[in-house]
Chains A and B, each alone.
Chain A
């Protein structure tokens, strides 16, 4: 993986029927950085994350992860990606342990029991590891979803509105997790509607509107009020 531009999107175009959801998106998230992608509902944030993750094929353009085109790489490129989506992507009949152990086997993790224990401790669910996921609160489920996404230690982490529906305490726990995960060799791309969290959690912010990135900035010195003002001016 190269030092810069761990996640690169080049001229991404995606249509659903006659609607052009993404219209030439260009973006770059360097290693060790967190980028928050903001935009109104239906702006195409989730679609862009699905395209970067490889779940959806773009009509045009390409995604490079660590310099490797995802369309040309085999299925091994998926090892570089961790995704937290709107749905938790967990089996609610199974326990946290069973869920993570299953994914550990799919990802060929050596000593899966050791890794699963480490992740469950990191997301503070070790004591509830044998309980079915359906008995978890929204915050616990979201922590486990993050645990599933980082289980294989991916350099690219995609978080699609990870703070939705969380109470302030759970959101703070999530913030700590994101801070922990953002240090080092990872690149994190997250979407959120909460401007305060976007400014607090991310190193840079991009606004998605009309299918394009229309504004980007570093969060250093940026306040949520200033960001709200910019978004109002740009009608995002």
Chain B
């Protein structure tokens, strides 16, 4: 095992070297720290966020809020310790005005104390853990995507309304996984045939699927983002379970990054999200077309969230007329920000998480043969998360 220990220290050395090589200091532009997952199995999500953000900056002429914008990019490798190190560096050395990019809830939680102590705004384009929405809400934390639970709550409501009585639940064993099943059960009132937490990054689900089959549920709800979702959906279909019990999940389990890799295995699956490629807002149509043209792939919800993160920062900087010196003013301007994002007019709750519609989507084969999501209804209108009442901020 010494070689694994060596690998770890090598990783540390490599990232340290990578850090030394970046970011000269400029006069007074807006500096955005893009800490996201650019390598390893979660990289697809981070790259989509980064590219969505870059597309928005491009649409705004390279300037957020009219300020010259410099993006300092860093790879968190989906590791909390690396993310904290990077957050520290962004605060101490790069002196960024805003940190964004974060994909994973456990990393966001780990980075929060450092960023709050450094009075650096933290705009999450994805991670929205219950802690930061409720009792531990933080004036420096803004979420532009969703509170984790809300997407799962929508699926719970749909499964409940559709009349399923015995549902089997699966999620990875990390904060967002716990939030997921808690959210689902907040609106689903039927029997739970089984509740299973699996290892984060698990490859093989044969053991869990055999248990599912034995429990004979009438539906299955699974939260598996990224590569885990691909593994799970492929294996679910191969085990012949798709015919026995329909598979439901939050949008993360059936988003574009996963659909491209699983193909027909996901067809017909119903899932919930705050965004869909066919959502009818003027900004969204342009976003989908331009993203496809620029990056030669369909955008995922993560790309859409990255795009909206840039719009939120843009609105905040406009709100202070480009005066970045006063951190409290910038923060207040972000809280008061109003803009038309990909989901229509964007609204923040008192805990600085969005109040928004959550939609039902269905996986379909598009006209060009690509497997993608299509809107199939609205589950919640102007939905706020369940934790805002525990947040002391007004």
Binding partners A and B: no
Q: What residues of chain A have their CB less than 8 Å away from a CB belonging to chain B? A: none
